[in-house]
Structures are given as structure tokens and as C-alpha cells.
Structure 1
């Protein structure tokens, strides 16, 4: 004997069949997901415009000299630069063939902190050919 859920045997079933409704709803949901445009996250930036009148960096293909002065200036071949520009110049020199030498000359009264930061920049730039010049002036100091 089978169990029936409320309707007597032989009477028409009064419940609605929800399976086709669920199928239609799933198809509509998939169509809705497909037709939604993809959201793009963009950040609007005002980039500088290239004017085309760039002067090439003053990089000597044979040797370049970095002088650290007593009044906290870093000089690249005689012109004052900051540490960011120094890193840019060092990166350019490391791509040249052959790689130019880098001569580092701190003055006697230059702050050690600045010399240390310049050395850190040269290490991060992976400078291959570097030497200290001017040390012979301090040979008789000790």
C-alpha cells in the first residue's frame, strides 16, 4: 500500500508543478549574468606630456665621478643631483656596453650618513665597476 500525501486515490492532483518554473528562472538568471557588462576599475591619471626636448643625461661612457661635498651635496660629473637622479644615472650606466667606471670621492668633511646613502644607492643599482678616489690625500692623516 502506497502513501498518498493528502489526495484520495483517483482524484486529480491540485498542486502546481514548480519544476518548469525553476528551470525557467535558472535560464533567466544565467542570461542576466551573461548580459551584465564587466565592471572595470580604472584610476584616471594626468600623465605628463612628452615635449621631445630632452637633453641626454650627462653620462660619460668611460668614467663618471660622484663627489659628496661637505655641505651635503651629491655631484655627478660636476653638476648637483639628488639620490633619485643618481639611481637613474647608475641604471643607465649599467645598461651601457662597456660599463663605465664609477669614481666615488667623498670630501673629508662630508657627512657619513650621506656617503652611506650614496653607497646604498650604488649597491641597489648593482654597480659593477666602482672605486674610491682621493684617498691618497688622507694617507698621512693617521
Structure 2
């Protein structure tokens, strides 16, 4: 018979949390590197007109078209006339069909038939350019158009 006996406990030992901060910082750096904050690099001036009735819409089935004068960085290269931007590239009115077809194919297959075109038009843009864009959209049978504005009332800001 032994005088010293060990008690066997059925408890699990405590989990070491010493490496937990390392794991948290590693995940933080991973998500900082992988996250995309902005889809498009804006090449045109985009001061949006104000509207008093603004709704927030889903972005998952939208294709954005930016219209306006080139920003100051690009004035020397592209001039001061109104330009159309889809994605990260300038395009002409004649190439809108190709650019929108390409942008539509990037969406999920079930959303390609229900795509909405979001127009972000600078407040100083010529109306003729917007009319040309809308005519090309009619030819493509993309009839759901959203005009993106900023909240506020144009009359109060003058």
C-alpha cells in the first residue's frame, strides 16, 4: 500500500490564450489586404444634383454609368468636354452597348436579365449627353434607369 496516491481528475486543462492576439492581428491584416473599398476609380467630376426624395437601393444588380467633364487630373489628356465613364474607362456613346454588355456579364447569371442602370451625372453635364446615353439604353432594352443624387433640396442651397 502506498502512502502517496495521486488523485486523477476528470477536468480538462485550461485553454491557453497566449496565441489569441497573434491570431486576431493576423486576421485583421488579412482582411485589410483583401478588402476592396472602392470599385471604380472616378475619372470625371461628379458633383451630384440634390433631391429631396432619396431612396437607398441595392447595388447587387446595378451597372453604374458616370457622366461629366474629366477631373482636373485628366483635363490635359481628354479635354474639357463631357465624357462617359463605365467601370474604370472612358467610353464613347457608340461604345456604350459593348461596355454595358461586358458589365452585365460580370453580374450573377440570375441577375443579368433584371439589371438596373444607375446614372451618376454631374450637375453641369450637357443634357444632350444624357439623352444619347438613354437612347443607347433603349436600343439595348435596358429600361430600368436610376438617377443617383445627393440628399438635400436644390432650392434651399441657393
Q: TM-score by structure 1 length?
A: 0.47
Tell me which of the two structures has the higher relative contact order, counting C-alpha pairs closer than 8 angstroms and 6 or more residues apart.
2
Q: Mark the structure with the bigger radius of gyration.
A: 1
